[in-house]
Each structure stands twice: as structure tokens, then as C-alpha cells.
Structure 1
Amino acid sequence: MDFSQRAQRLQKYKALGMFLWKYGHDDLLHKAGLDEWLGSHGIADIGGVQSAFFPGVGSGGSTDGNGSAFATTYGASDVPHAGAIATKVQTGSGPSIDSDYHSSNFLADLSALGPTYVRMAQLLAKRPDLLPHSIADLLTARQIAQEPMGLVELDATIRAELGLPLSEIYTKFDEAPLTVSPFEQSHIAALKDGRRVIVKVQKPSIQGIVYDDLSTLEEVADFCDQHTKTGKIISFKTIVEELKKTIISELDYRQESYNLEHLQQALKELDHIVVPEPIKRYSTSRVLTLKFIDGRKLRDSSHLGLLAAEKAALAGEIFHAYLKQILVDGFVHGDPNPDNILFTSTGKLALLDLGVVTRVSASMQEKLLQILVGINEGRGEHVADLLANLCSKREIFDEDAFRRAIADLILAHRDAPADRLEIGRVFVGISQAAFRNGMALPFEFGTLGTTLVNLDRVADLLDNNFDSRKFLEKNITEIMKGHVMRTLTPAHVFQNILETVDLLEKLPGKVGTILDAVANNQLKITVDAIDEQMLMSGCQKIANRITMGLVLAALIMGATQLMQIKSTFTIWGYPGIAIICFILAAGCGFGLVLEIFISDRKTNSQS
């Protein structure tokens, strides 16, 4: 890295540090020593940063800003909320950051950091255990202003990717963008054959910017993990690495094209769910062309003009579609919010924007099935057991508190009235309980929680009488059957048969070997409870040191007694034998201390 690159990197550190100082939890800055560094750049009053987005941060406990029936506080904790975003206000009182003025400032400052940070924040908004609800809702509800590309830049990118200028591919190309996001923008166009399409074009040079910003974020995350208590507990580097995978995948439109085709195939049996079809001839890693679907965003479709039965059917089908994706296909549309679902002119629901997908392994699907059934039946302790086995433990954890929190959450769900049932909120509560008690759930679990929260909102927009618990009770058997049938493929069955045959072939020989060992009294069972060799070696060292100490004490006591006996043999005017004993004791004592020091250092370095 040359001098100019180092200077640019330092500027990014400074900009990120200033943003965290202005809006973030100042504990991270203080513990990392960044408050002094920022102070040297003319930024003072670090301690004036107060948490307005998430009251109570740093003092234990929190509340759910959404007023959900499952908003819970899992007890005091000295671990600050990972995303405790705040505003700099006067101590005691001041303007709330929830106001339009401060919200606009927050979004403007975030946008000034660059497109990578904007996209990172949007992805974090899908993780309720990492960001407070007020911030997540702000990032979801408000569009962050982005500078659109001009027609010249669009034409240059399309020419470079497709080999032809705009005018030779499209008969019509709307210059005004349909959407503008941190990495790309989309336009409505018409091909030469008359088909209307949506063209998504990646911004020039964005990949280099993103990779450089991700490198900066990885360095900052690594620094925070090493120098802050919060970092050691929640591992910022792990979070950045997971988000990095998602962002890099988003930069390759061939992956999104594959995702669209995959989801289209998975949902083909559902009559009222459609997915945009990619046109491969006009799609590359930086340009994606999709068939146009006429419709309105579901959020804007307050009056759908449907009968109650039709609304209920649509709500049930979209709920079934996502449960099938999660529990059967293992391939989930990662962002089913009402802005990414169209109510089409033909009365169907179109799923848009498959740049972000969540993949669920077969083993995770089985665990999620058990968890869903347990939640629906109100079996809190059973769900807590399943989740405890699923979690990994951080440096500081409280498994008992986690189990109690999960059991209480499941009971609250069981006893809630039908109009307050939100299966997504239960998953969010589980993620938050895990975070507050030092238990780390798999990354996809938190993402699925937000997916289910958005699914609840979509179902409610379609039919505000939709009961997710009853739907699960009626359809869980069919979903479980679909999961089992998917695993029982001919190849899978054949593999199990081969493993069984292999076991049966080897079983007689293994049983015979064990019986021979028993008959000849040669059967040995090794219990790996403690390292007995190391234990005995340690005991021997202790005994040797105690013995040496006793010998040295005897020499010193003997020399003391000999001092009182007159002798013709003297050293320095004292009885010679007594002095020799003292010198011998001193030399052996020094040698013993040196041996202990060297031996202990060697043991510590090996461990």
C-alpha cells in the first residue's frame, strides 16, 4: 500500500470514527482509545453522546420499540446492544433522534460514508439482534438518497457488457430511473422484439470501492474484537465476514439470475406466486434484464378490490410459499418486505429483488421444523433445549437465563390473542435473548427471523384476520411430508442402503474381535477424563520442589547451629563449615527459583 492509499485509508478511518462518535455507542470508542484520537482531530465531548434510539443501552435491559406482544427484557447485562445507535444530545434533555430532522441527518451522514456503508446498514437492518428496531425501521422505511447515473454512463456500461449501444438493443429506454440503490439503478425499457423489460445496471467502478471499504471494515472490526469487551463477546469480525459474503454475491448479477430461475422452479406449483424471468441474452455480471411485470407495490395496494376469501387465499399462499422455501427447498428470498412484492394486474403476487437469499442446510431445516412445532404447541422447555444445542457459547454466557427467557417467550406466544400472534417476532425475541445471554445462534437464524417478521406484515396487508398459528397447525404436516420426500431421493436412499450393507458386512468381524478381547482379558476402556500423565508429572514436580525446599531449610538450620561452635577452620572470620552450608543453601535456592521460572514459562508457552 503506497502513501496515497494509506492517506485515503486514514481518511476513511476518520470518517467512520466521526460517524460512530456522533451516532454510536461511545463505549466502543472509549475502550478502543478512539475517543482520544478523535479529540486530537478537534472532536470533543465524547461523553455527551446519549442513547436516544435505544434507551437503556449500557445500563441493562431494553424495550421493543414496536410495541409487540413479545417485546421482552432479559435482565440486566453489561453487554451493550451491538447496534446501540444514538444521537448527540444534551445530557438530561434534548431533541430526539427519532424526529424527522435528526433522522434525515443520520441518513445523510450514512450516505456520505459511501455506498458500501449504506448497503451494510440496510443488511444490518434485517438483523434485529444487531440493530434496535427504531434504526432498523428507519433504514427500511426511508429511502437513502443516492446519486443516479447519467445516460452516458449507462450507455458506456451496457456497451462494455453487451457489446452494443443502448440504441441498438432497446427501442425505448426510460432515462428517469425506476429505482436507485447504493450499487445500481434500474430502468424500464423495451426490446427490439417489443417485450417490456426492467434493466438493472451496476454503477461504474463500484466493485473497487466496495472491496476497499470492506477491507477497511474488516480491519476496524478486527481492532474492536481485540481491544473492546463488546468485540470479544459478539465478534464484529464474524458479522462483517457474513455481510461481506452477501455484498460480494450481490455484485454479480449472474448469481441473481440463477436465484430467480431457482426460485421460479421451486414455486411453480403455486398458482398465485410469480417470479420475474431473467433474459439471459441481455444479462451479464453487471447488467441484468428481466421481463416486465405490471403491478403495484403491495405496500401501496391498500384497496386490492378482492373478496375476503380471495385475500385469505393469497395470504395463505404467500405464507406457504415462504415456509416451503425455508423448510423444504432450503433457498429463501431474503427480503420479503411489502416494497419487494408486487400485486400484479392479473391478481398474483410477484417476488422481486433476489440479490439476497438465505440458504438453509438440511440439518438446520430439521431443527427449524422442530422449533416451529414446539413454538406452535407452546412447549417452551423443549424449544429452549433445541436452541441451546443449536447455539455456540461466547466468552461470557448464561445458559440458564437463556433457557428461562426462551420458555417465557414461547408461553407469551401461546397465550397471546390471535390478532397479536407474530411468529416472526418470536424468532426475533429468540435472537435477542441469545445475544443478551452470550449465546451465538447461526447467522442465518437471525436473517430468517426478519424474513418471518416481514412475512407477517405481508400476510396482514393481504388479510388482517390471518392467523399464522392456525395456518401452521393445518399445514405443518404437509410441509413436513414435503421435507421428508425431498430427502428421500433415489440417490439418498441408495446411499443409505450402501452404508447399511457396509455396516452388516463389517459387523460380524468387529463383534468377534470384541468377544476375543473379552475372553482373553485384553479388553481395555480408555476414559479421556483427565490427562493422567500430565497430572502425575505435575505431582512429581511438586514433590521434588517440596523435598528440595526441606533440604535447603535443613542446611540453613544446621548452619545456624554450627555458627555457635568455635572452630579453627574459618571463612571470613566465621566457622567454615557453617559458611559452606550457607553458600550451598543459597546456591541451591537460587537454582531452584531459576528452574521454577524457566519451567513455568516453557509450560505456559506450550499451552
Structure 2
Amino acid sequence: MGISLRPQHMKRYTDIARLLFRYGRSDLVQNAGLEAAMSDDESDDAPEPSDAAELAGDLERMGPTYVKLGQLLSTRADLLPLPYLEALARLQDRVEAFPFEAVEEIVQTELGVRLSKAFASFDPKPLAAASLGQVHHAALRDGRPVAVKVQRPAIRQQIVEDLAVLEEIADFLDRRTDWGRRYGFVGLFDEFRKMLLRELDYRQEAANLVSLGKNLAEYERIIVPQPVDDYTTERVLTMDFVRGKKVTALGPLGRLEMDGEPLADELFKAYLQQTLVDGLFHADPHPGNVFLTEDGRIALIDLGMVGRISPEMQEKILRLLLAVSEGRGDEATEVAIRMGEVDRETFDQGKFRRQVVELVGQHQHATMGEIEVGAVVLEISRASADNGIRLPRELAMLAKALLNLDAVGRALAPKFDPNEAIRRHAAEITSRRMRKQMSPGNVFASVLEMTEFAQKLPSRVNRILDALANNELQVKVEAIDEGLLIEGFQKVANRITMGLILGALIVGAAMLMRVETDFRILGYPGLAILCFLGAGAGGVALLIDIWRHDRTRRER
């Protein structure tokens, strides 16, 4: 049974059906019942091969929800090949601006005052327009220049409707397809919904700007515009105005006039600190979100999407980056295995080790002009997925950020070497991590734990010695689940016993066929026929039991 098509969502069903059909998943269109949303001409046409760039373009045309979905899919190396991951990681939304009348109405409603009372000037022509909102240049009453980000009218309702359609499809895939049961699309959808709804609340982005600005305050060449709290709401974000241009807009003459190597190095170092020390990083540094200011600094804008990394994961990522940069493929393999969730049934350690060693060896001496750092991390994620390891989402988000950062680095300094930068900054990053761990709060928590340990140690030692003296000390080792093992042995024994009984019935029936008796069925000795029928019924029951057991096991 497919999806129950709702008339109010028919356009979205049609768009999704076309997308799946075009990119080789016509089986999902038929199984989900989405072929009813397509015209006969569309469903009869065979899908033509389409490259990754075309998929990114199709998602852009479908609207903001699908742009954000594509950005999330760019972090799933287990779902898509590398070219698609790279294309989706650089996905940007290109839409028309909405009228200034709507901007004025939204700002006045959110701030509670007339536009002329809140701002000394407000440019009606937007600086940039994206799927969720657009940005205008303005000035506060005290003359301070600001950028005002205004959310599109009715965008929340549109996204809620799109999410309802995607939830139906995700639920269907998980229930009805092996593909869905393997990858868990309902879980992916829940993650996507939380991420998108957070981006719709501009107060979250304002908090991200404050946190990142504080963390990067010591970097003189990097600035993060700060929000104006009194002019920021759920749908309006007012922040410092940054004068500059996109780094990708630099021409050859512009590169000659600036010293791009220190800028690229400081930007790369700042990202190492964000991910490996602070645990909060700008997850979408595509060229449109990185500006070169008029005074020659780098500005990071649009912090609607950020990544967070736990201290335990930070250490593993640092070890992985160092292993890759120094060409230690075996160590990179071991770190990747410890980072992820290993599927013991499909994991091929030998194949995975060979792939990672070869990958690390190829890129050990590459420069920025020859290799993209983010692409290397994505390739490792892809190799992990192919060999039964699911790496954490944080690593995929970092890979996506690095992939976008590579384009920025090439624009600033084409000969910048990221591997050498990792080795150069590793000692300082490690030192900062240690200083952060030695903060007063962490030291005080450790002192409390040591105090509790010292207080309880004598009583614990006494209990151990008493148990040893009374011959009551026991050591429990749970190497395997013995209950599950015994249950398995019992099933095997039962099937063997059933097979022996069936074999005995067949042999007995064959012998009874030679015994003449008045009781006959279809002209044959009745007792022999009953034995044959019993053996047949038992055989069918045994096959059904085996089939049901195997199917239940696969569904788990």
C-alpha cells in the first residue's frame, strides 16, 4: 500500500516523484503510489542520466525546504556518492527578493514601532536575498550602520507543509522498503526538522554570533558581526554592517594587492580552534558567507547553521586529522573505527584498511591547489559507510564545512598547504585544549570527585577484604549472552530432531507400502499414506518456521 495522496500537497508529490524518477528511483515512485501525481508522458519517459550539479539545481528550484534538505544530505556519505556530496555541500539558494512593503510590515510588527522611529535610514533595495529571508542595509538612530535580516512572509507555513509531505514519505520508506529500514529515514527527517526550525528562529543565530565572536576575539584578521539585541526578534535579526565583498569575487589584480597566505592560515587555524577547542563551529562557510572587508580582514556571516562537537569527539577528530596530514593510514583507520558505530555483520576491516591507507597515501603531499581537505574527509566517510561503519554526523558536518572552506582558501591563496597547517598548529591547539580542561570549573569538579573517592575508599577496601576473608569474593564475566546462545542451540537441536522424525516417517512409510492391509487410501496402504502426509505437513511447517525466523531477523 502506498502513500495516501492529499490534494493540498499534490504539487509537492509531483515535484518529489519527478525528482526520484529522474535520478533512478522509479521503483520508489511506483511503490509509494506517487505515479498518480505524474502525467502519463512523464512516467513513460525513461530517466536520463543526470549529474550531481543538476540535482543541486533541481533542489534549488524546489524551494527553501529542499535546499536545506540537500545541505543535510551532503553530510550523509552512506547515502550518496562523493560527487553528489560535494555538489550538495556547496548548495546555495538563489531566489527573487520579496517586496519592500512586506519587509516594512514584518519589521514594524516584530519591533513594535514604525520603521522611521527605529532606524535613521533603511535601504528598500536588499543587499542579498535567500530562501528564508533577505538582508537590507540600514542605520540606527545614533548613526551606527547595520544589516537587517528579515524573514520571508509565510515562509514558516510553507516549510511546515513541506515537512508534512517529507514526513509521510520518510515513514513510508522506513515501513515498506529495505532501503528505508537500512538507513532510517524517519530519524534523518527528525534531525532535519529540528535543524530547519532552529534556522527559522533568528534569536538562535544571534546567540551563535555572540558565542563565535567571543571565541574568535583574539584573531585580529577575523571578525564576526555582532547582533543588536533590542532590534532582534524571531523574524528580524539586526547586526553590525560589514563593508566588503565575497572572497570569490576577487580578481587576479586583487590577489596581488593583498597578502592572502596569512589570511588563509588564520582562517584555517580559527576553524581548527572552533572544532577542536571550542566545540562550536560555523557549519556553512560557503563563499557567499565569507567576506573580505575593506581593511583586508575576513568576516564570517550567516550563522544560522552551526555544528557542535563534544570534547570526546574533538580528541578523535584531532587524531584523525593529524594521522591524515602525516600520512599514517593505519592510525587513521583505527581512529575511524573507534569513532563510528560498527556493523559487525557487514564490516570488512581488511578492505577498509586498504582503502584508507591508499587514500591517505595519495593525499599526503598534496597542496591546496591539488586536493580539497573536505573531500578527503568525505572520502573517508564514504569508505567507512561502504564497509559497515557509520561515522558520527559531527564529522560529516565538519567535512562539509571544510569542503566549502577549501574554495575560500583557494581564492585567498592558491598554494596554501592545509596538511602543513594542521601539523604547524597541532601543538598549539592541543595546548589550548589542555588549558580549557584545566579551567576552574573542571578543576573544582575533579577535586570534588577526588574528595568523594578518598572518603569512600576505606569502607570499599574493608568490604573487599571481608569478602575475601569469608571466601565470598566473586568475579562475574559476561563475555556473551548465554541465554541467547542456549536459545540458538535449542532451535538447532529442535530442527535436527524434527528432520530426523520426518526422515523416519518417510522411511517407515516406504517400508509400510509393502505391507498388505484392508485399510487403503487411493488404492495404497492407508498407514503408509498417513506417514507420507505427516512427513509432508511437517516439512512444510519446518520451512515456514525457518522462513519466518529469517525474515524477523532481517527486519531487526
Q: TM-score range by the shorter chain?
A: 0.7 to 0.9
Deviation at 1:383, TM superposition (A): 0.3
Distance in structure 1 (CA, Å) of the matches to 2:208 and 2:512: 88
Q: Does structure 1 retain, via aligned residues, the 8 Å contact 2:82–2:378?
A: no
Deviations 1:551-581 (A, max 9, x none): 86898699778757xxxxxx7699xxx98x8
Cα distance in 2, alignment partners of residues 422 and 329 from structure 1? 24
Partner amino acid, structure 1, of 2:391: L
Residue 12 (structure 1) aligned with residue 12 (structure 2) = yes
Distance 1:260 1:596, change over 3 A: same
In the TM superposition, what is the alpha-carbon distance from 1:502 to its structure 2 partner? 4.6
The equivalent of 1:59 in structure 2 is: none
User: 1:43 is aligned with what amino acid?
Assistant: E
Partner of 1:317: 266
Q: How does 1:143-182 map to 2 (within 5 A)?
A: 144-182=93-131
Match of 2:150 in 1: 201
User: 1:540-555, aligned counterparts within 5 Å?
Assistant: 541=494, 545=498
Distance in 2 of aligned mates of 1:31 and 1:6: 17
Give a deviation string over 1:564-607, Cα, whole Å, max 9, x none.
7xxxxxx7699xxx98x879979987997899799989988998
Rate the CA distance shift 1:600–1:547 in 2: closer, same or farther, 3 A.
same
Contact 1:421 1:469 (8 Å CA) reproduced:
no
More displaced 10-residue stretch of structure 1: 161-170 or 416-425: 416-425
Are the equivalent residues in 2 in contact too, given 1:424–1:454 (CA < 8 A)?
Answer: yes
Q: Report the 3-state secondary structure (helix = DSSP H, G, I; strand = E; otherwise coil) of the residue aligned with 2:217.
A: coil
* Partner secondary structure for residue 432 of structure 2: helix
- Given the alignment, which residue of 202, 208, 218 partners 1:253? 202
Amino acid at match of 1:151: F
Q: Match of 1:528? A: 480
Offset, 1:149? 2.1
Aligned ranges 1:514-593 → 2 under 5 Å: 515-516=468-469, 519=471, 525=477, 527-528=479-480, 530-531=482-483, 533-535=486-488, 537-538=490-491, 541=494, 545=498, 563=516
**Aligned counterpart for 2:403 among listed residues 453, 472, 481:** 453
Residues 557/231 of structure 1: CA separation in 2 closer, same or farther (3 Å cut): closer
User: Are the equivalent residues in 2 in contact too, given 1:184–1:201 (CA < 8 A)?
Assistant: yes
Question: Mind listing any 5+ residue stretches in structure 2 that lack a counterpart?
Answer: none
How many residues of Structure 1 are paired with residues of Structure 2 in the alignment? 541
Using the alignment, how far apart are the partners of 2:202 and 2:294 within structure 1? Answer: 27
* C-alpha spacing 1:278/1:52, structure 2 compared with 1 (3 Å): same
Matches of 1:599 and 1:437 in 2, distance apart? 32
Change (3 A) 1:597 1:264: same
Instruction: Report the Cα offset of residue 6 of structure 1.
Output: 2.3
What amino acid is the match of 1:493?
A: V
SS for the counterpart of 1:50 is: coil
Q: Which residue matches 2:222?
A: 273
CA distance in 2, matches of 1:132, 1:593: 45
Cα drift, residue 448 of structure 1? 0.8
Do the aligned residues in 2 keep the contact of 1:28 with 1:228 (CA within 8 Å)? no
> What is the CA–CA distance in structure 1 between the aligned matches of 2:481 and 2:543, rounded to whole Å?
29
Amino acid at match of 1:463: A
Range moving further from structure 2, 350-359 or 336-345: 336-345
The partner residue of 1:391 within 320, 334, 340 is 340
Partner in structure 2 of residue 43 of structure 1: 42
1:78-477 pair list within 5 angstroms: 107=57, 110=59, 113-124=62-73, 144-302=93-251, 303-304=253-254, 310-393=259-342, 398-416=348-366, 419-477=369-427
Instruction: Quote the Cα distance in structure 1 between the aligned partners of 2:71 and 2:492.
Output: 58
Q: Is the 8 A contact 1:315 1:462 kept in 2?
A: yes
Contact 1:38 1:44 in 2 (8 A): no
- Is structure 2 residue 51 aligned with structure 1 residue 53? yes
Structure 2 vs 1, CA of residues 474 and 46 (structure 1 numbering), >3 Å: closer, same or farther? same
- CA 361–563 in structure 1, closer or farther in 2 if over 3 Å, else same: same
Structure 1 residues 201, 438: CA separation in 2 closer, same or farther (over 3 Å shift)?
same
| Equivalent-residue separation in structure 2 for 1:487 and 1:541 (angstroms) | 58
TM-score w.r.t. length of structure 1: 0.76
The whole-number CA distance in structure 1 between the counterparts of 2:429 and 2:478 is 45
RMSD: 4.0
Displacement, 1:403?
A: 2.2
Unaligned segments of structure 1, at least 5 residues: 55-83, 87-105, 565-570
The answer as to whether partners of 1:162 and 1:284 remain within 8 angstroms in 2 is: yes
- Rg larger in structure: 1
Scaled by the length of structure 2, what TM-score is found?
Answer: 0.83
CA contact (8 A) 1:151 1:175 kept: yes
Moved more, 449-458 or 109-118: 109-118
